[in-house]
Amino acid sequence: MRILKIKEQYNLTRREWERGKMDYKLFVENMVSLLQERMGDDYEVRATEVIKNNDIRLTGVVMMREADQVCPTIYLEEPYRIYCAGADLQEVAERIVALHEEQIQGIHLDMSFFQDYEYVKDRIFHKLINYEKNRTLLDDVPHIRWNDLALVFYYGIEEQRLGRASILIHNNHMDMWGQSADMLYQVAQHNMKQNMPELFMPMQKMIEDMLGIGPCMDESVKLYVLSNRDKLFGASAMLYSESLGMLAEQLQSDLLILPSSVHEVLVLPDNAGKRYEGYMRMVEEVNMTQVEPEEILSCHLYRYSREKAEIEEIIV
């Protein structure tokens, strides 16, 4: 019994020593090797770096057979946290395999359709991202500069089992289709209006709907939310919103626009008396404390000019 206890203590100590020595890079290498052994020769297992919005870089692992056209990417940051919390490598590997099998089950997509522009054009949409934070990404994707932001394009996959899956459109896709960024913009604008119409409502109404409660704010507070019907990448609704112009006329005022995230913006009358610094500090604080890093849109403010009927960046 004493020998068994010593052996258990040695194994635990050994695992803790390995955990202390194994940094993230070494963890990824070992995990790829374990997964390759677990999946067998029919699969190619490899690590890949994925650049997300705002240059957030994640490490993923893909396990793909030769006949597969699509496969899920399993990000390794969370498995590494599980490993550091006490799980051994084999246990973490089994969790990754289980997640892979769950995500791949029943998904059989023939991606050959993506070569046909006529087939895909009705599902091309756009979203706004931060220009400076995405310089690396923008080198490889068609985009249109809009104030301190960039408008990029994506294909929305119509597949319920994939949820809100999308394919970011890259330069090679645009070249394959023989299209330009301006042409993609025209198509995306039409599709956004048809399939993702703007959603514009008072902030208190949105909160009440989300919580299922009665009035919770002073209705005299003129604060509105602008997004799209799906509340997905809804900040780009600024580019086709009709409600902004209608509200500006109703209030006889320019409108101040605060970026909340890539999914929505907040709108209020521009009666700040040119004291925009306070609003900018508020946006910066919310971005730092409340918004996921890859969902941050901007720390800048915008104004809908009632006279010009257009949105402009406020330079403070």
**Per-residue model confidence as pLDDT tens digits over 25-63:** 999 999 999 999 999 999 999 999 999 999 999 999 999
Same domain, 259 and 220: yes
pLDDT of 210 above 90: no
In this structure, the answer to whether residues 204 and 304 fall within a common structural domain is yes
CA-based nearest residue to 45, from 68, 69, 24, 65: 65
pLDDT of residue 253: 94
User: Same domain for 186 and 214?
Assistant: no
Residues 208 and 283 in one domain: yes
The mean pLDDT of 1-12, rounded to a whole number, is 38
| Mean pLDDT for the stretch of residues 212-216 | 54
pLDDT at 70 (0 to 100): 77
* pLDDT of residue 191 exceeding 70: yes
- Mean pLDDT over 104-129 rounds to 86
> Is the model's pLDDT at 158 over the cut of 80?
no
How far is Cα 68 from Cα 191, in angstroms, rounded to an integer? 30
Share the mean pLDDT of the chain: 87
What was the pLDDT predicted at 4?
38
Task: Report the pLDDT value the prediction gives residue 6, as an integer from 0 to 100.
Answer: 34
Cβ neighbours, 10 Å, residue 298 = 24
Burial class (CB in 10 A: 0-12, 13-18, 19+), 251: middle
Task: Please provide the DSSP assignment of the chain as one string.
Answer: -HHHHHHHHHHHHHHHHHHHH--HHHHHHHHHHHHHHHH-TTEEEEEEEEE-GGG-EEEEEEEEETT-S----EESHHHHHHHHTT--HHHHHHHHHHHHHHHHTT----GGGGG-HHHHGGGEEEEEEETGGGHHHHTTS-EEEETTEEEEEEEEP--GGG-S-EEEPPHHHHHHHT--HHHHHHHHHHHHHHHS-EEEEEHHHHHHHHHT-S--S-TT---EEEEETT-SSGGGGGGT-SHHHHHHHHHTS-EEEEEEETTEEEEEES-STT-HHHHHHHHHHHHHHTS-GGG---S-EEEEETTTTEEEEE--
Instruction: Dump the DSSP string for 87-118.
Output: --HHHHHHHHHHHHHHHHTT----GGGGG-HH
Residue 296's pLDDT band (boundaries 50, 70, 90)? very high
Kindly tell me if the per-residue pLDDT of 238 is higher than 90.
Answer: yes
CA distance 23 to 69: 32
Nearest partner of 266 among 239, 244, 292, judged by Cα: 244
pLDDT recorded at residue 316? 78
pLDDT for the residue 12 = 40
Q: Are 231 and 151 members of one domain?
A: no
Looking at 72, 104, 136, which one is the last position of a domain? 104
Q: Which of 67, 89, 104 is the last residue of a domain?
A: 104
Mean predicted confidence (pLDDT) in 8-25: 55
Confidence of residue 152 (pLDDT cuts 50, 70, 90): very high
Tokens of 163: 């949820």
What is the distance between the alpha carbons of residues 250 and 224, in angstroms, rounded to a whole number? 14
Task: Specify the pLDDT at position 218.
Answer: 54
Number of folded domains that form the chain: 3
Whole-angstrom Cα distance, residue 220 to residue 88?
A: 57
Note the pLDDT of residue 8.
Answer: 41
Choose the final residue of a domain: 160, 195, 230.
Answer: 195
Check residues 277 and 10 and name the one with the higher pLDDT.
277
312 pLDDT more than 50: yes
Q: Are 257 and 227 in contact (CB under 8 A)?
A: no
Confidence of residue 216 (pLDDT cuts 50, 70, 90): low
Residues 190 and 261 in one domain: no
**97 and 125 belong to one structural domain:** no
**Domain range for residue 8?**
2-104
Indicate if 280 and 309 belong to the same structural domain.
Answer: yes
Q: Are residues 205 and 310 in the same domain?
A: yes
Whether residue 54 contacts residue 138, with contact meaning beta carbons closer than 8 Å, is answered with: no
What was the pLDDT predicted at 22? 80
